[in-house]
């Protein structure tokens, strides 16, 4: 039998991702993901018959110590179904960090799907929310005063901007919430990264939440998909809501098979990501932080995992100019945030070093007045 030709974009493994620092969503699916697609089951997941998808759900449920999992198309879908499943009816509110994905980047889904008010707070330590931040934000009378929209769910994100919320803080917040009948959702799109950095296992973290959303298509590098986790009853309800928004999939193995490869190969087969590929991206992010700081640059946030947040303002270079300098050497940059995916190449790190040197050399050469002029000019470019 003549096999169909495999498109050349599957063969190069890293592909464009090698020089792409915009996001860890920019990975290229691998040949072993293609092989998994070629041998997956091709059954109907709306009828719950697709074994490749059911196996993935059971596997991740077991890794995280949860009763059940539900494969979903995206991290946004996982978060929104999780919140919809935990919330009953208005008036109700969700409390979260002001930088949370659920409020900043999910198209207002908490309002449209759950009709919830979102109350967001700023962490006093600048990195992650603490129990004190949360307890200060919840008024003692809000469950009984009809002027209030009571907080029914606290939604945490880990990692957030690449930074880890420590397990000890999560435990305290969870105990506080459970004593008050408040439920907890975790946007764990990048929880894998915290685990690989040694912060605790998936199950250690997940035990403190009622629903958890994990992404396969961020650092793990799958082309599509996330998973929502929780009790069997809650996942049954989430499956129902998923259907109502058009997220029921037919031959879902085609997308769940590469997601399984992403878990086994990129995260690794051990419970803490042993044997996986994420550690390398953390090392590269730390190398970039050191290069930048050694050259006199300042950081916006510390590097905990795979994100490196440069403070461009203090270097006197505009974002536009920084992006342009990157593109002149073939790097794709979108922000002062550099995200290191596991396919980012050594070549990318070397080219970034060159860009850093150029940016920070300009800083030393140039008077304050000149810097302001250049900044204004580059804004007009």
Ligand X SMILES: Cc1ncc(COP(=O)(O)O)c(C=O)c1O
Contact 226, 70 (CB under 8 A): no
Q: Which is nearer to ligand X, 66 or 226 (CB)?
A: 226
Piece of the chain touching ligand X by CB under 6 A; list 60-68, 74-82, 108-116, 250-258: 74-82
φ/ψ (deg, to 5) at 146: -70, -5
Question: Shortest gap between Cβ of 159 and ligand X (angstroms)?
Answer: 8
**Among 150, 227, 226, CA closest to 183:** 150
The rounded distance, in Å, linking the Cα atoms of 200 and 281 is: 18
Using the minimum distance from each CB to ligand X, give the nearer residue, 104 or 244.
104
Both tokens of residue 132?
């004190």
> Would you say 216 or 356 has its CB closer to ligand X?
216
Selected from 28, 68, 101, 239, the binder of ligand X by CB under 6 A is 101
260 binds ligand X (CB under 6 A): no
Check residue 97 for interaction with ligand X (CB under 6 A).
no
Query: Distance between CA 14 and CA 16 in Å, rounded?
Result: 6
The residue among 80 and 318 lying less far from ligand X, judged by its C-beta, is: 80
Least distance between ligand X and beta carbon 76 (Å): 3
Using CB under 6 A as the binding rule, whether residue 75 contacts ligand X is answered as yes
Three-class secondary structure of residue 275 per DSSP: strand
Closest contact distance (angstroms) between CB of 193 and ligand X is 10
The 8-class DSSP code of residue 265 comes to I
Binding mask 206-245 for ligand X (x = CB under 6 A): ---------x-x--------x-------------------
Q: Which is nearer to ligand X, 105 or 240 (CB)?
A: 105
Question: Is position 187 an interface residue for ligand X (rule: CB under 6 A)?
Answer: yes
Burial class (CB in 10 A: 0-12, 13-18, 19+), 119: middle
Angle (nearest 5°) at CA 109 between 106 and 115: 150
Residues binding ligand X: what is the number (CB under 6 A)?
12
Any contact of residue 288 with ligand X (CB under 6 A)?
A: no
Residues ≥6 apart with Cβ < 8 Å to 364: 296
Find the helix or strand (DSSP H, E) in which 74 lies.
none
Minimum separation from the CB atom of position 352 to ligand X (A):
22
Under the binding rule (CB under 6 A), the answer on residue 189 touching ligand X is yes
Under rule CB under 6 A, residue 76 binds ligand X = yes
In the complex with ligand X, the residue whose CB is nearer, 150 or 219, is 219
29 binds ligand X (CB under 6 A): no
Q: Which of 51, 74, 143, 353 binds ligand X (CB under 6 A)?
A: 74
Which residue of the chain is nearest ligand X when measured via CB? 75
Among positions 138-177, residues that touch ligand X (CB under 6 A) are 157
Q: Pick from 186, 172, 181: which is nearest to 92 by CA?
A: 181
CB of 157: closest distance to ligand X in angstroms?
5
Cα-based distances in Å from 160 to 53, 155, 262: 28, 12, 21
Q: Which helix (H) or strand (E) holds 227?
A: strand 226-230
Of the listed pieces 73-81, 144-152, 248-256, 346-354, which binds ligand X according to CB under 6 A? 73-81
Shortest reach from residue 325's CB to ligand X, in Å = 25
CB of 64 to ligand X, least distance (A): 16
Shortest CB 186 distance to ligand X, Å: 10
Nearer to ligand X by Cβ, of 157 and 210: the residue is: 157
Task: Check binding of 32 to ligand X (CB under 6 A).
Answer: no
* Cα dihedral sign, 66-71-75-81: negative
Please answer whether residues 353 and 346 qualify as being in contact, where contact means their C-beta atoms are separated by less than 8 angstroms: no
312-331 b/e (C-beta count within 10 Å ≥ 16 → b):
beebbbbbebbbebbeeeeb
CB-CB contact of 216 with 222 (8 Å): yes
Query: Do residues 234 and 228 lie in contact, with contact meaning Cβ atoms separated by under 8 Å?
Result: no
Token readout for 185 is 């959702």
The residue ranges that bind ligand X (CB under 6 A) are 25, 74-76, 79, 101, 157, 187, 189, 215, 217, 226
């Amino acid at each position: 039998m003549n096999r169909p030709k495999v498109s050349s974009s599957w063969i190069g493994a890293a592909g464009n991702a090698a020089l792409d620092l915009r996001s860890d969503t920019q990975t290229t699916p691998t040949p072993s993901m293609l092989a998994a697609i070629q041998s997956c089951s091709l059954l109907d997941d709306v009828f719950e018959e697709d074994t490749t998808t059911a196996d993935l759900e059971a596997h991740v449920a077991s890794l995280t110590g949860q009763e059940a999992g539900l494969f979903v198309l995206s991290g946004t879908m996982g978060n929104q179904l999780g919140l919809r499943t935990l919330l009953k009816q208005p008036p109700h509110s969700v409390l979260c960090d002001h930088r949370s994905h659920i409020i900043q980047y999910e198209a207002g889904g908490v309002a449209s799907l759950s009709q919830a008010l979102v109350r967001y707070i700023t962490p006093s330590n600048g990195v992650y929310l603490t129990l004190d931040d949360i307890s200060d934000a919840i008024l003692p009378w809000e469950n009984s005063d009809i002027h209030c929209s009571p907080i029914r769910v606290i939604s945490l994100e880990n990692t957030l901007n690449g930074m880890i919320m420590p397990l000890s803080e999560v435990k305290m917040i969870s105990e506080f919430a459970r004593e008050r009948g408040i439920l907890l959702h975790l946007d764990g799109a990048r929880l894998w990264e915290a685990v690989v950095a040694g912060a605790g296992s998936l199950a250690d973290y997940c035990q403190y939440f009622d629903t958890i959303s994990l992404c396969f298509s961020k650092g793990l590098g799958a082309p599509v998909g996330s998973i929502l986790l929780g009790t069997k009853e809650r996942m049954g309800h989430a499956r129902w809501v998923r259907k109502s928004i058009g997220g029921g999939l037919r031959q879902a193995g085609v997308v769940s098979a590469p997601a399984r490869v992403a878990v086994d190969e990129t995260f690794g087969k051990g419970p803490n990501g042993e044997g996986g590929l994420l550690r390398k991206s953390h090392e590269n992010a730390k190398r970039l932080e050191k290069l930048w700081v050694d050259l006199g640059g300042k950081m916006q946030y510390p590097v905990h995992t795979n994100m490196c947040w440069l403070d461009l303002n203090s270097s006197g270079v505009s974002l536009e100019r920084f992006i342009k300098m990157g593109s002149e050497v073939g790097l794709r940059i979108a922000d002062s945030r550099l995200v290191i995916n596991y396919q980012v190449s050594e070549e990318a790190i070397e080219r970034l070093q060159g860009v850093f040197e150029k940016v920070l050399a300009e800083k030393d050469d140039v008077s304050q007045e000149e810097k302001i002029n250049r900044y204004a000019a580059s804004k007009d470019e």
